[in-house]
């Protein structure tokens, strides 16, 4: 159950990050420089979280399956 929940959380974060990156590249996000900087910082933080979660999930899934 915990593995499924962790997978869902990671999938949601990846989806959110992909949407944010898409908005940044297509310029549909607010052009306010402060807002854009905040968004980029959030994306970087999400990438760091996912990098930290991925090895953990991989090891848990290997033990589970």
* pLDDT (tens digit per residue) in 12-64: 777 777 776 666 655 545 555 555 556 667 777 777 777 776 665 566 556 55
Q: Identify which of 4, 6, 16 has the alpha carbon closest to the alpha carbon of residue 52.
A: 6
pLDDT at 54: 62
What DSSP letter does each residue of 13-63 carry, written as one string?
A: HHHHHHHHHHHHHHT-S---HHHHHHHHHHHHHHHHHHHHHHHHHHHHHHH
pLDDT at 60: 57
Give the predicted TM-score (pTM) of the model. Answer: 0.33
Please state, in angstroms and rounded to a whole number, the distance separating the CA atoms of residues 29 and 20.
Answer: 8
**Residue 1: pLDDT over 60:** no
Q: Using 50, 70 and 90 to split pLDDT, how confident is the model at 10?
A: confident
Where exactly are the structural domains of the chain?
2-64
């Amino acid at each position: 159950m915990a593995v499924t929940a962790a997978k869902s959380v990671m999938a949601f974060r990846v989806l959110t990050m992909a949407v944010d990156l898409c908005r940044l590249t297509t310029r549909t996000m607010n052009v306010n420089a402060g807002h854009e900087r905040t968004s980029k910082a959030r994306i970087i933080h999400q990438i760091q979280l996912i990098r930290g979660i991925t090895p953990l999930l991989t090891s848990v899934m290997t033990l589970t399956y």
